[in-house]
Amino acid sequence: MNQTTVNGIQMSYGDEGRGTALVLVHGFPLSRKAWGRQAGLPGCRVITPDLAGFGQSDARSGRVTMDQFADDVHALLVGFQSGPVILAGHSMGGYIALAFARKYPALLRGLVLVGTKAGPDTPEGAAGRRATADKVKAGGVGVVTAVMAPKMLAGGTGDPALVAAVLGMMAGATPEGVIGALLGMAERPDSTPWLATLTKPVLVVTGANDVLIPAAESEKLAAALPQATLRVIPEAGHLVAWEQPAAFNEALTGWVAGLAA
Ligand code: MLT
């Protein structure tokens, strides 16, 4: 585990391998452990931050916008002096990756959007997030993790060992982190109108059986992007990179190799 100070907080991150810089941003309420099956990708330097308030990184107080999370990832990369990177974001990590692409295009070589979408919350969805934030204040992060862990998987609740593994990826989530991200996601802007202006290459990946952000969202995303490749991975849910690592890693490394060619 590595640690550094970014924008006033201690951020933990993984940094393994050599080659093309590939930054993997986890979803909510996960941690960099969600990318445990992407370690050792051939020809890649794999950088996996724990977002503020998740995994082993310090929390911020109050609402944390997608722009703030993107600023933290940016500060980490500036510290590395890595040059332009391939940035992959899963779900909330995808909202953050889109914010990063808007704010820091010079540091971006390509984007990988995994199980995510460009649209904002509906008013009802945003209100639901605020209500959940209040429940977390009163009852702790288990209010969220117990509900979300089974929904991350294609098979749902079927296998307690798999659900326990996902809960392990959520173990470092703090109440401040969960509340801050819920309030930040509730306010995130609609990225849809901006997609047509994103001229970088994008790989869009989804699990065919994602129940949290259905595959149709990824199809919409890919259709709205000028330079997108869409991969729909069978027998995978929201946590596609962990559930089907061979197919996911093959899609990712194949696409990265195509960029380098
Ligand atoms: C995630 O996995 O990051 C969340 O499902 C995203 C969301 O709640 O919109």
User: What are the residues facing 88 on neighbouring strands?
Assistant: 24, 112
Alpha carbon of 260 to ligand 1 centroid (Å): 31
- 27 Cβ closer than 6 Å to some ligand 1 atom: yes
Return the residue whose CA atom lies nearest to atom 4 of ligand 1: 28
User: What are the residues facing 229 on neighbouring strands?
Assistant: 203
Q: What is the number of the ligand 1 atom nearest to the C-alpha of 27?
A: 3
Torsion angle, CA of 247/242/38/256, rounded to 10 degrees? 40
- 118 Cβ closer than 6 Å to some ligand 1 atom: no
83 token code pair: 């040059």
Return the residue whose CA atom lies nearest to atom 7 of ligand 1: 92
Q: Look at the block and give the residue holding tokens 């940035």.
A: 87
- 237 Cβ closer than 6 Å to some ligand 1 atom: no
Alpha carbon of 163 to ligand 1 centroid (Å): 17
- 212 Cβ closer than 6 Å to some ligand 1 atom: yes
| β-strands 202-207, 228-233 pairing | parallel
48 token code pair: 């996996």
- 69 Cβ closer than 6 Å to some ligand 1 atom: no
Task: Specify whether the CB–CB gap between 30 and 38 falls below 8 A.
Answer: no
Full-model pTM:
0.97
* CA dist list (Å): 248 to 54, 184, 245: 24, 28, 5
Residue 258 per-residue DSSP state: H
Q: Hey, where are the domains in the chain? A: 2-260
CA distance 146 to 141: 9
SS (H, E, C) 107-170: HEEEEEEECCCCCCCCHHHHHHHHHHHHHHHHHCCHHHHHHHHHHCCCCHHHCHHHHHHHHHHC
Among 26, 92, 205, the mutation site with the greatest number of ligand 1 atoms within 8 A of its Cβ is 92
Single out the residue of 113, 103, 102 nearest to residue 24, CA to CA.
Answer: 113
Each residue's pLDDT tens digit in the chain (261 positions)? 799 999 999 999 999 999 999 999 999 999 999 999 999 999 999 999 999 999 999 999 999 999 999 999 999 999 988 889 999 999 999 999 999 999 999 999 999 999 999 999 999 999 999 999 999 999 999 999 999 999 999 976 668 899 999 999 999 999 999 999 999 999 999 999 999 999 999 999 999 999 999 999 999 999 999 999 999 999 999 999 999 999 999 999 999 999 876
Q: What number does CATH give the domain 2-260?
A: 3.40.50.1820
Strands (E), 172-251: 202-207, 228-233
Alpha carbon of 135 to ligand 1 centroid (Å): 17
